[in-house]
Amino acid sequence: MSMSMLTEEQNEVLQEIANIGMGRAGRSIAGVFDEFVELSVPRVREVPLDRLHVAVADLIPNQTLTAVRQAFFGRVRGEAVVVFGMSGCRDLAGLMGYGESLDAGEEDELLLDVSNVVVSACLGGIAEQIHAEVSFSAPSVLASHVAASRLFEHTGTVPDGTGTLVVEVNFRLERHCFACSLLMMLPQDGVAAIRHALDDFLASL
């Protein structure tokens, strides 16, 4: 996008709101795995579509990656993409009792379940704070076991004017570690909607 998606004030409040959402996600994941979860403060930044793979490579370096996509609808609409480093996913598989011989179907099921928890908790938390109802489609695998440079080969098909907010998320389980990054891809009307929702939230303070 040629112009900044959010003002500095809007970006700061979105980061604060995302922190609340990620707290919800952390509690949800802790409940799923029955293990204490530490998480970093999310960092929100804007990344052009053609630089997304570079941003993800910075967040989860030197790993084969898998991405799960999930659309969201409501006052703010767009698509969430959760990108996982595969080394951490093997830790999660062991924690979930899949053993060492995790087949492709079981791996997809595991990542779809974890992605659904992360997206619904984080975006649900954001939507709740800005008083915007949101619904979600079923998650699906966007790319599997690829380098960062190949994750977004099909982003050329997204609508003109689509922008991307990268929400950097790092989870650490008490005895295991995995990293994922949550991306929010917003069409032009979605960008306008989140700006208006954040302005309404700021005005209510």
Residue-by-residue pLDDT tens, the chain, 205 positions: 445 788 889 888 888 888 888 887 778 777 777 777 777 777 888 888 778 888 888 878 878 889 999 999 988 888 899 988 877 676 677 666 666 666 778 888 888 988 888 888 888 888 888 888 899 999 999 998 899 888 887 655 666 667 788 777 777 777 666 667 888 888 778 888 888 888 988 888 7
Q: What structural domains and CATH numbers belong to the chain?
A: 8-204 (3.40.1550.10)
Residue 132 and residue 137: Cα distance in Å, rounded?
Answer: 17
- What is the token pair recorded at 99? 């053993």
Amino acid residing at 132? A
Residue type, 197: A
Could you tell me if 69 and 142 are in contact, meaning their C-beta atoms sit under 8 angstroms apart?
Answer: yes
This prediction has a pTM of: 0.84
First to last CA, the chain: 30
pLDDT for the residue numbered 135:
93
Residue-level length of the chain: 205
pLDDT at 137: 94
**Which one-letter DSSP state was computed for residue 3?**
S
Yes or no: say if 43 and 167 are a contact pair by the CB < 8 Å rule: yes
Distance CA 13, CA 10 (A): 5
Give the per-residue pLDDT at 1: 40
The token pair that represents 158 in the structure block: 């997204």
The per-residue pLDDT for 121 is: 83
- The pLDDT value given to residue 109: 86
Buried (b) or exposed (e) across 156-193, using 16+ Cβ within 10 A? eebeeebbbbbbbbbbbbeeeebbbbbbbbbbeebbeb
Phi, psi of 107 (to 5 degrees): -60, -45
CA distance 136 to 191: 18
**Pick from 11, 58, 24, 60: which is nearest to 165 by CA?**
11
What value does the CA radius of gyration of the chain take, rounded to a whole number of Å? Answer: 16
Which pLDDT belongs to residue 140? 93
